[in-house]
Amino acid sequence: MPKTEVILIQNIVGSGAESDHVKVAAGYARNYLFPQGFAIPLTGANKRRIEALRQRRAEREAHEFNTMSELAKGVSKLVCLIKVKTGEDGKMFGSITSGTIADELKHQFEIALDKKKIHLEHPIRALGDHEVELRLHADVVTSLKLKVESLTPLPTPAEKPAEARGREARGASKEGEAPRTEKRGKRPSAKAEATEKPAKGEKPEKSEKSK
């Protein structure tokens, strides 16, 4: 495939940065780079433009560095809250990706950030607190705090009054035990009652036979 030499007017992913002198496929340059104004052919006249392009590139990169440094200071103080759906066991449905985080930054803080700058080793699949690395610039790296909460929290039992808890505790301790009767002294038997002597001053009652 024939190649041609061009001077890039702006950053082209996979080819180079602004003011770079690179070789690309002739068809790619003719059909895409030149018509879009992304590059110019390498000629004697165009070589004189390289210095001006390099100066513009240096100014742009300095501006990007300053902007991202300021953003890093602000983002490091934020806590991004993300609410997700979970099952009754507290497990999340799905996961949180860099795209999800970018959307929440835009929605909550009006920060427009390319999701490619949000570095996740793997999607987040658990509730709780997390820290995510943000690669804002080649020389600017910071972290963002995330708090992942459930939209459907597990129900918690209501606190019972101390008196009710005490009654339940006493009932639980007696569970399974045989009921106890209070001891109030031995009750005299029927025979003992019949033969009991009358008190002093009282006449004994006559039985039915003596009548």
Rounded to an integer, the average pLDDT of 11-37 is: 91
Contact 101, 119 (CB under 8 A): no
User: In this predicted structure, what is the pLDDT of residue 209?
Assistant: 46
Q: State the alpha helices, DSSP H only, in 14-161.
A: 26-28, 34-36, 44-47, 50-75, 98-109
Which of 143, 148, 138, 91 lies closest to 118 in space, CA to CA?
143
Rounded CA-CA distance 116/24 in Å is 26
**Nearest to 141, CA basis, from 122, 117, 124:** 117
Q: At 134, which helix (H) or strand (E)? A: strand 128-137
| Res. 197: pLDDT tops 60 | no
Mean pLDDT to the nearest integer, 18-27: 91
Which residues have a Cβ under 8 Å from the Cβ of 123 and sit 6 or more positions away?
Answer: 95, 96, 97
Topology alike, domains 3-48 and 73-150: no
Its pTM stands at 0.59
The predicted structure's pLDDT at residue 207:
47
pLDDT at residue number 50: 86
Residue 204 clears pLDDT 70, i.e. is over it? no
Give the C-alpha separation, 55 to 47, whole Å.
14
Q: Cα 196 vs. chain centroid, distance in angstroms?
A: 85
- Please tell me which residue, 89 or 98, carries the higher pLDDT value: 98
Report yes or no: 8 and 17 within 8 Å, Cβ to Cβ: yes
Q: What are phi and psi of 129, to 5 degrees?
A: -95, 140
Predicted confidence (pLDDT) per residue in 149-192, tens digit: 998 755 565 555 555 566 665 665 555 555 554 555 555 555 44
The dihedral through the CA atoms of 147, 149, 154, 157 has a sign that is positive
Q: Does residue 50 sit in helix, strand or coil? A: helix
> Side-chain half-sphere of 146: how many Cα atoms within 13 Å?
27
- Spell out the domain ranges in the chain: 3-48, 73-150
Residue range 21-43: mean pLDDT, rounded = 92
- Note the CATH number of domain 3-48: 3.40.5.10
Report strand pairing: 140-150 vs 128-137. antiparallel
Give the three-class secondary structure for 31.
helix
CATH of 73-150 among 3.30.1360.70, 3.20.20.20, 3.40.640.10, 3.10.430.100 = 3.10.430.100
- Give the residue carrying structure tokens 């038997």: 189
Stated as kind and residue range, the H or E segment containing 194 is: helix 190-195
Helix (H) / strand (E) containing 173: helix 162-174
How far is Cα 21 from Cα 91, in angstroms, rounded to an integer?
53
Mean pLDDT of 108-137: 94
Question: What share of the chain has pLDDT > 70, as a percent?
Answer: 72
